[in-house]
Structure 1
Amino acid sequence: MTGTDESKEAAPLFCGTLNEDAAALAEAVRRGETLLGSLPAKPRRAAAQQRAAADVLTLCNDLRTRFLAAHAASVYDALTESRSRALRLTELLFAAAETFPGLAPTRAHMAQESKRPQADKEGLEIAQGIFLRAVLNDDAAGRHLMNAMLRPTRRAAALRAEFTRSDRVELETVLVERHGPAAQVTLHNLQCLNAEDDRLVDDLETAIDLVLLDDRIRVGVLRGGVMNHPRYRGRRVFSAGINLAALHSGEISFADFLMRRELACIGKIVWGLTAEREDAAGYALPAHKPWAAAVDSFAIGGGMQLLLVFDWVVAASDAYFSLPAAQEGIVPGAANLRLTRFTGSRLARRLILGGRRIQALDREAALVCDEVVAPEEVDAAVERATQALDNPAVVANRHMLNHAEESPEAFRRYLAEFAFIQANRLYDRDVLDKLRRTWSASRRGES
């Protein structure tokens, strides 16, 4: 394999048998990896070497796509022992790399990639996007993976006794506290205004699990903590969205951040936890609860995405909302699926495609939040909201509203396409250029 037309002619012709096709894929990708290994590191490649590397990666991804088009269900069944094992995303991806060499990057490959800035990475996560698109598009495999991601994490299970005993667990970027029948989850990723990164997603999913696992808690509340950032010192901030500095430096992962956030972290707010037990008809019994959110200062990007799954949103009158997808260049999670339900298509396009910002006192704010109060009245408004949501009928009706507005099947189909599109966007030149400009501006103190 050389990355030229000659290499395309050498691409294997799959015969339709899983084992033989897997062997052909493994050999083709091995040749491609050998060529890539013979080249200088990406930043030092000449133009011809860059083209050769791009051709090889494209060919390997095309072969993975063709292989999965024929064998996705069989591959998933092999990895999960006919869906008797629940593997989370990263476990599944690395199991695929080990069991079917060449299908996905190995742990060693990803460990090496993680040390590089985003612009210097080879783009191995695109193979992960191809794999997850195929799995999620398969009805049985996709449903099984979604349910696996809705199970409590091992970390939450380990912290459950501590939370029960003290009603409080403080993680690196998230604090969760129980106050009677309500739990407040407070984001305190302080230095970066609650910008989201791999650490925050892990902490937030753990906190959500602790809330959902505790039978004493009937309502969850999400709010931003008090900042120590110079521009917002002493003020609460809800969320600045994805941490663009971390993305620029290569510290935002496709599987553990972008996909886990949607399938597990936000998914558990919508659908609750998938329990181990099933009812007599064989359906999993979810543990879900109503959630309120309180927006102080702003909900940017991922912060605004979060609001689309909450049952009641309180906003301070000086806050604003935005989805700067066009400026960042990546897809804003599941906002493209959910936002039109709230705002209609035209305003959704102005927000996502045009970067429109909504102030809390704008007329359109009523489409994305339920109550706007003076900053000093947010605490009281949140208390009223939690009391209103603390009702068994609310639990039943939110469950039915969520199913009516966004079926798990519709969400799964969306996430399948999202996996592929977002993985590719992470390595598109316009995104990398925007990240470089944003990083340079921050170094000059312009943001």
Structure 2
Amino acid sequence: MTARATTRPHRWDRTAPELTGAPDADAAALRSFTAAGEDLLAALPAKPDRTPDQQDTADEIHRRCRGLRAEFLRGHVDRVHTELTDGRSRSVRLAELAGAAAERFPGLVPTAAQLADERRHPQRDKEGREIDQGLFFGALLAAPQAAAHVVASMLRPTARARAALPAFRRTGVAELGCVHLERQGDTAFLTVRNLHCLNAEDDPSVDDMETAVDLVLLDEACRVGVVRGGHMTHPRYLGRRVFSAGINLKDLHRGRISFVDFLLRREIGYINKILRGLRTDHDETVEKPWVAAVDTFAIGGGAQLLLVFDSVVAATDSYVSLPAAKEGIVPGAANLRLSRAVGPRIARQMILGGAVIEATDPRAALLADRLVAPDAMEDTIAETAEQLSAPAVVANRRMLNLAEEPPASFNAYMAEFAVQQSRRAYSPDVLAKVARVAAKPSTT
């Protein structure tokens, strides 16, 4: 059986259909062809047990199926999105959209069962089915009408935030997993406490952050939001605040960083809400100014976050870095935004060369608005929040953001990001990198 499985894909390929442009017929052809591919994959051993030839066969099966998926989406992406959203009359979040696509268009994206099976394996042992989700969302975000609807849908409050809102309005406090949210006066403080990994980001933290951001935007008593890292328990940083260590590479190695619920949701969800505001049920936009308070370091995803804040206050003993090329992944939307902040040369030095920007470096003034001694952070944060609470700030930040990053530019960037990032997460150099990180002693 194994020997036949290594040759059958070539005969199977000659039966690949030519899509006609008729949506139902093309959907049926896609379903039939990808089902045959799944049968061939099922005849192979599990990925860790495959010979090199067998893995080549599996790669070829995925390549042929992805080619047909991409062709189908090129011809039918608008119809696909229209059907999945009832003529764009419903706001559908990313995960729900992917799930609906799997049911309505079999073979287009992985099913819930396939994704659950993948989740049980470390990243290196997965089939890489999230790459098919990358193709799907890349096509949606490249189609102007679909993209606008997808992004607008993700600007709606989450169900978790709606449920937590009455209690937060009443008490001014919310405990949200790794985020402690507290309203002091008219300022909301989001304190990140993902202590087991020096405030690195993972799937649960993205959910917690989006919920917290929603609550700040929904609560009328909050006028300004402040994001700051909590005090660490790691022996090296005991008692010190840390802003963020970026993506949790150990979780990536374990296969626990999801494409939709982390890599996409993070950018199109809570980060975009900080930048663009929240869409209400009445199709109004609620925006508020935001302050980032950087203690110790803002690495990777932490550095990316700074680019959407209205003001950044950093301690003089802190530093910022974006080791994207070293990690092997795309640093979110930093490639879109960093050049505006620091210029193209410094952006390349940081993203491609891994340059570390210490607070004492003159370049740090391009990333932070105020650089102050660690013992002056509290007072400076309070002063900055008070300045941003002025009535005209919201209107002006909206116009600045619109001029600097038109929504269409963001959508186009995210279309390419979806494709590139989904592939990078399964590339050999990334898998080798995260394996080395996972082998190091725990940070707890």
The aligned runs of 1:36-47 (5 Å cut-off) are 36-47=41-52
1:61 aligned partner, one-letter code: R
2:57 is matched with 52
2:346 is matched with 347
Note the C-alpha offset of 1:3.
Answer: 6.2
List per-residue Cα deviations over 1:275-326 (Å, max 9, x = no partner): 222xxxxxx4210100001000000000000000000000010000000101
List per-residue Cα deviations over 1:307-355 (Å, max 9, x = no partner): 0000000001000000010111000000000000011111000000000
* Distance in 1 between residues matched to 2:378 and 2:11, nearest whole Å: 67
1:126 is matched with 131
2:324 is matched with 325
1:421 aligned partner, one-letter code: Q
* Counterpart secondary structure, 1:441: coil
2:107 is matched with 102
Note the C-alpha offset of 1:180.
Answer: 1.0
* Counterpart secondary structure, 2:34: helix
1:142 is matched with 147
* Distance in 2 between residues matched to 1:324 and 1:14, nearest whole Å: 42
* Distance in 2 between residues matched to 1:10 and 1:175, nearest whole Å: 56
1:57 aligned partner, one-letter code: H
2:303 is matched with 304
CA contact (8 A) 1:3 1:56 kept: no
1:281 is matched with none
1:358 is matched with 357
* Distance in 1 between residues matched to 2:95 and 2:383, nearest whole Å: 40
Distance change (3 Å), C-alpha of 1:352 and 1:286 = same
Asked if 1:399 is matched to 2:433, the reply is no
* Distance in 2 between residues matched to 1:322 and 1:132, nearest whole Å: 29
* Distance in 1 between residues matched to 2:367 and 2:284, nearest whole Å: 30
Which runs of 5 or more structure 1 residues have no equivalent in the other structure?
278-283
1:90 is matched with 95
* Distance in 2 between residues matched to 1:411 and 1:392, nearest whole Å: 27
* Distance in 1 between residues matched to 2:440 and 2:188, nearest whole Å: 39
Asked if 1:338 is matched to 2:319, the reply is no
2:315 is matched with 316
1:219 aligned partner, one-letter code: V
State percent identity of aligned pairs: 54
* Distance in 2 between residues matched to 1:185 and 1:437, nearest whole Å: 32
* Counterpart secondary structure, 1:27: helix
2:117 is matched with 112
2:289 is matched with 290
CA contact (8 A) 1:151 1:275 kept: yes
CA contact (8 A) 1:266 1:306 kept: yes
* Distance in 1 between residues matched to 2:182 and 2:17, nearest whole Å: 56
Asked if 1:226 is matched to 2:228, the reply is no
Note the C-alpha offset of 1:366.
Answer: 0.3
* Counterpart secondary structure, 2:292: strand
1:300 aligned partner, one-letter code: I
* Distance in 2 between residues matched to 1:4 and 1:286, nearest whole Å: 51
List per-residue Cα deviations over 1:114-140 (Å, max 9, x = no partner): 111000000000000000011111111
2:427 is matched with 428
List per-residue Cα deviations over 1:121-178 (Å, max 9, x = no partner): 0000000000001111111111000000000000000000110111000111001100
CA contact (8 A) 2:9 2:40 kept: no
The aligned runs of 1:224-303 (5 Å cut-off) are 224-277=229-282, 284-303=283-302
* Counterpart secondary structure, 2:439: helix
CA contact (8 A) 2:78 2:146 kept: yes
Select the residue among 148, 164, 169 that pairs with 1:164.
169
Note the C-alpha offset of 1:7.
Answer: 2.8
Distance change (3 Å), C-alpha of 1:166 and 1:3 = farther
Normalized against structure 2, the TM-score is what? 0.97
* Counterpart secondary structure, 2:177: coil
Note the C-alpha offset of 1:39.
Answer: 1.1
* Distance in 2 between residues matched to 1:198 and 1:340, nearest whole Å: 28
1:195 aligned partner, one-letter code: A
Normalized against structure 1, the TM-score is what? 0.97
CA contact (8 A) 1:3 1:55 kept: no
CA contact (8 A) 1:184 1:221 kept: yes
1:10 is matched with 15
2:218 is matched with 213
CA contact (8 A) 1:3 1:54 kept: no
CA contact (8 A) 1:3 1:53 kept: no
List per-residue Cα deviations over 1:412-441 (Å, max 9, x = no partner): 000000000000001111111111122223
* Distance in 2 between residues matched to 1:392 and 1:286, nearest whole Å: 16
* Distance in 2 between residues matched to 1:4 and 1:24, nearest whole Å: 17
Note the C-alpha offset of 1:5.
Answer: 3.3
Note the C-alpha offset of 1:183.
Answer: 0.3
Note the C-alpha offset of 1:4.
Answer: 3.9
